Amino acid sequence: MLTDQIAGLYDSKAREFYIADWMAPEDQKPVMAHELTHALDDQYYHIDTWEKAARPNDDAESAREAVLEGSALAAMFDYTLAPEKMSVRNFGDIASLIDQQALDEAEKDPVMVKAPQFIKDDLLFPYVAGAGFTQQFLKATNGWADFHKVFENPPVSTQQILHPEMYFAGIRPPPLELPKVKPILPHGWKELDQNVMGEYGLKEVLKQFLGADSAARLSPEWAADRYSISESQDKQQTLLIFLVRLQHNENAKTFFARYNALLRKKYPAHTAVREQPFLMEWQTSTGAVGLECHEEECLAVEGADGAFFDRLVTALGWPATPAAPAAEPPVGTIAQFLPSLRGRELN
């Protein structure tokens, strides 16, 4: 799919760029403007080193990739708009235009049509969201003459890319750490990775199970997150831990309801172990599934067992929740946020 989509390529190691020779010469020129923008960025900022400087935070690295691809795409638009004496600064919503053009082209491409939605979205995100961020920066400043400031003070999250006003205001995700996972893992389990999903990543997860509209409404409430993936010794089971902080306590209540609905879709065959206000635990064929919210934070655990879920909650310093028999949520608690919970999709 990636090969199918390539029109040009800048090789930062060789410092060379390539243009697809199957394109007509008039179509090659805008692509050349895009790749030459990468070359100029590399000349001044060494883009490989600059992008990798965000590691080990995957979300921050995605934000920097959006700067690189979005600014190159905006420069390409400036090149094509120049004969009309227009520029990205005085153009309409460039991100929506690019997104619609990409959707139209994707429908004509059998390789793209077959690709999973997340793969398609992940391919387009740095271009679409990055171009939108670049346009807003150019409009709010003296234009390209000020764009060096983005390289000198890069966005630290995909949230800042999606909401440029947060970048201008200097609103950064607060530090959020999981407890040390290794000491509380079941015997023989091994942690494989721990990182940050970000607002964009959360939006994609919600979109897959709850739809684009619900994802677009809930994901902006993201403030910070941390996830961990572990594997059993026989490599037959996985454990996903996801800790997310929302903007406010009330957002956490809404998040609990929506993420509960998400998990019900993901694990339709489950047995309830505990269902209390802002706490649920189920048993599934792949292990225990738990979700709990405390103040402005929510914790989701998929895999391992219920004892691990309780150990993790304790390690977070959250108050212990007494065990209770599985039951329907009582009126006036979780039912406020999950009307007609079973068999219904929440939008």
The tens digit of pLDDT for each residue in 180-237 reads 999 999 888 999 999 999 999 999 999 999 999 999 999 999 999 999 999 999 999 9
pLDDT tens digits, 108-128: 777 778 888 898 899 899 999
The two tokens of residue 301 are: 């655990």
Q: Residue 77: its pLDDT value, please? A: 93
Compute the residue count for the chain.
Answer: 347
Q: Residue 334: its pLDDT value, please? A: 36
| pLDDT above 50 (res 84) | yes
| 3-state secondary structure (DSSP) of residue 231 | strand
Q: Label residue 106 by pLDDT band (50, 70, 90).
A: low
Rounded distance between C-alpha atoms, residue 126 and residue 42, angstroms: 17
Please say whether the beta carbons of 192 and 227 come within 8 A: no
| pLDDT above 70 (res 3) | no
Q: Which of 301, 200, 205, 291 is nearest to 253 (CA)?
A: 291
Please name the residues in contact with 41: beta carbons below 8 A apart, sequence gap of 6 or more.
Answer: 47, 68, 71, 72, 151
Q: Residue 338: its pLDDT value, please? A: 36
Domain boundaries, the chain: 2-168, 182-336
Rounded distance between C-alpha atoms, residue 300 and residue 240, angstroms: 8
Please name the residues in contact with 326: beta carbons below 8 A apart, sequence gap of 6 or more.
Answer: 271, 272, 273, 274, 275
Q: Which of 308, 276, 307, 273 is nearest to 294 (CA)?
A: 276
Which single residue is written with the structure tokens 């977070």? 316
The two tokens of residue 299 are: 């914790």
Mean predicted confidence (pLDDT) in 236-252: 94
Q: Tell me whether strands 271-276 and 190-195 are parallel, antiparallel or unpaired.
A: unpaired
| pLDDT above 70 (res 62) | yes
Entry pTM: 0.87
Q: Which CATH architecture has domain 182-336?
A: 3-Layer(aba) Sandwich (3.40)
Please name the residues in contact with 123: beta carbons below 8 A apart, sequence gap of 6 or more.
Answer: 1, 2, 5
